[in-house]
Amino acid sequence: MNATNRAVNRGVLLVVGLILLAAGGAAFVAIIWRPAGQVWQDGVGQLREWLIAADEGSRLHPSTTVSWVTLGLLLVLLAIVVFAVVTVARLGGGKVHTVTRVEGDEGAIGPVTVTQGFVADALNESLSRHEEILSTKVSASRVRGEDVLHVSVTPRQNVSPARTAATVAGLLDNLGTLLGERPPTYISIHAGLRAKLAADQPRVR
């Protein structure tokens, strides 16, 4: 769905998790063990004194309280904010209601906009005729400036995922033929408690 590398995501989460775990463990030890608590207080005090000395020694002018340390911290915070904004933008722009827009040729009435609701109704109606499909959910979201369709399917237990994917892909091909182009689509297949409970039950229409 996006261009974010999964290994990078997991690596960042691992590093952040280890840092938080280490910080939490150090704080816990400092609370329950007095010598460790004293070391913690001494370290915090020394760090505070160093920061004050660094701030006073890097003032831009004797008449101002602004220092290079303050500017550096602001730049670091700005870089973090920019990184967060770029990451969120790459993950997607949220849900949308338009799936595709077909421009009319010369002499046509005009462009035709296909909404997410139309596609959802069409796919749900078509998939409801397949006994191996228990439920379907269709949504659309904007990913890197492009509207992407997400079809989430829950098949019955022991139904081949490849068979389910082929069924959905065939319906999407038919939809693409109808629209003139197949919208970018992400298919996810889920198995849960509902699939297990409905394994041997006939589907009621």
pLDDT means per 10 residues in the chain (205 residues)? 59 87 88 86 88 82 80 90 77 57 53 74 86 85 77 85 89 83 84 54 43
At the topology level of CATH, where does 98-197 sit?
Alpha-Beta Plaits (3.30.70)
**Cβ neighbours around 117 below 10 Å, total:** 12
Q: Kind of pairing, strands 146-155 and 185-189?
A: parallel
Q: What would the two tokens of residue 203 be?
A: 């589907």
Q: Residue 1 has what pLDDT?
A: 43
Question: Where are the CATH 3.30.70.1350 domain residues in the chain?
Answer: 98-197
Q: What would the two tokens of residue 102 be?
A: 């077909």
Q: Residue 79 has what pLDDT?
A: 93
Q: Are 184 and 148 in contact (CB under 8 A)?
A: yes
Non-local (6+) Cβ contacts of 168 within 8 A are 123, 127, 151, 153, 187
Q: Residue 3 has what pLDDT?
A: 46
The structure tokens 């840092």 sit at 19
